[in-house]
């Protein structure tokens, strides 16, 4: 039976460690704070932001919330970003995406102080990741790729020398996870597949680890998976159950593929909780670095 990589349990262990570290910072008069900027009232974004603040309460990190209406223009959004940059109570913050139509998300991200970039997605921090494949990084790292790697490590899955196939070239993980997987402390060999890849199934079958992040339900089938592969399911799709008529969350990996795998991440319950835990970890590390 394939090993189930429980992101909820591992995230809970990480948060317990962070709670201890936050308490140590408090003894020195340092109180980490996570800020969120939510524009509009998209239900999924609202739930996600609310979950981040519940995580903060669990760990002892202060929550700083800024909400704007859906018709807020770029100048108003930038003003809130700059306010977070200047707020001493804010250790790190995120701008929840997507932003309203017509607002350039990259231009907004560019306004974030890189030292307060809790998501690790500012161009400066991504540049540091590109420039420093060795040694300790003293800048925030992208949360989802970091969560994937820490989840695998928690189950003693060594990626050194392993062939990893990444599906999808989105900035959240597809384009960034390769940077982290090829750092010297991980040392994996990465193939990135996307809509322009010829014979994608061949790359999948040759992979020892598959990281699927396309948002296309069940795109990775049992026929695409080599025996004893590790399946990391990052993609999220909402599908309607033909019997109940209710919507449910499914991943990129067809559940039938798990029977051939050595290990797999459930979806939901795998990478998602790890991403949220890494957001908290980035904030705590920012606080620790700024007070050493």
Catalytic residues: 52, 96, 119
What's the Rg (C-alpha) of the chain? Answer: 19
Angle at 9 between CA 266 and CA 90, to 5 degrees: 105
Q: Phi-psi bin for 131: left (phi > 0), alpha (psi -120 to 50), beta?
A: alpha
CB 66 within 8 A of CB 80: yes
Which are the contacts of 181, defined by CB distance < 8 A and separation ≥ 6? 145, 149, 159, 164, 188, 190
CB 60 within 8 A of CB 31: no
Backbone angles phi, psi at 193, to 5 degrees: -110, 150
> Which residues are registered as beta bridge partners of 67?
38
Q: How far is CA 38 from the centre of its chain?
A: 18
Backbone angles phi, psi at 42, to 5 degrees: -55, 125
CA distances from 64 to 33, 71, 87, 230 (A): 7, 22, 10, 38
Residue 11 structure tokens: 């995230």
CB 30 within 8 A of CB 257: no
Angle at 20 between CA 15 and CA 25, to 5 degrees: 115
């Amino acid at each position: 039976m394939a090993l189930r990589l429980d992101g909820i349990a591992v995230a809970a262990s990480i948060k317990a460690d962070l709670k201890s570290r936050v308490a140590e910072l408090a003894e020195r008069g340092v109180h980490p704070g996570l800020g969120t900027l939510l524009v509009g009232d998209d239900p999924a974004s609202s739930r996600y932001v609310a979950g981040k603040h519940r995580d903060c309460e669990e760990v002892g990190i202060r929550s700083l919330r800024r909400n704007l209406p859906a018709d807020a223009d770029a100048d108003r959004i930038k003003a809130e970003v700059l306010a977070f940059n200047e707020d001493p109570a804010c250790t790190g913050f995120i701008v929840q995406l997507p932003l309203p139509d017509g607002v350039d998300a990259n231009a907004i991200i560019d306004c974030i102080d890189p030292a307060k970039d809790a998501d690790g997605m500012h161009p400066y921090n991504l540049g540091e990741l590109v420039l420093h494949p060795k040694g300790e990084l003293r800048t925030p790292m992208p949360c989802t790729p970091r969560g994937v790697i820490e989840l695998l490590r928690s189950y003693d899955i060594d990626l050194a020398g392993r062939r990893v196939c990444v599906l999808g070239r989105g900035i959240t993980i597809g384009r960034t996870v390769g940077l982290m997987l090829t750092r010297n402390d991980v040392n994996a060999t990465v193939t990135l597949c996307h809509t322009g890849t010829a014979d994608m199934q061949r790359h999948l079958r040759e992979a020892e680890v598959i990281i699927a992040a396309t948002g296309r339900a069940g795109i990775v089938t049992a026929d695409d998976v080599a025996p004893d592969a590790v399946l990391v399911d990052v993609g999220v799709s909402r599908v309607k159950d033909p019997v109940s008529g209710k919507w449910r969350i499914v991943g990129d990996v067809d559940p039938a593929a798990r029977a051939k795998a050595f290990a797999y991440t459930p979806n939901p319950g795998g990478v998602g909780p790890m991403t949220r835990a890494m957001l908290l970890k980035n904030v705590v590390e920012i606080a620790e670095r700024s007070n050493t």
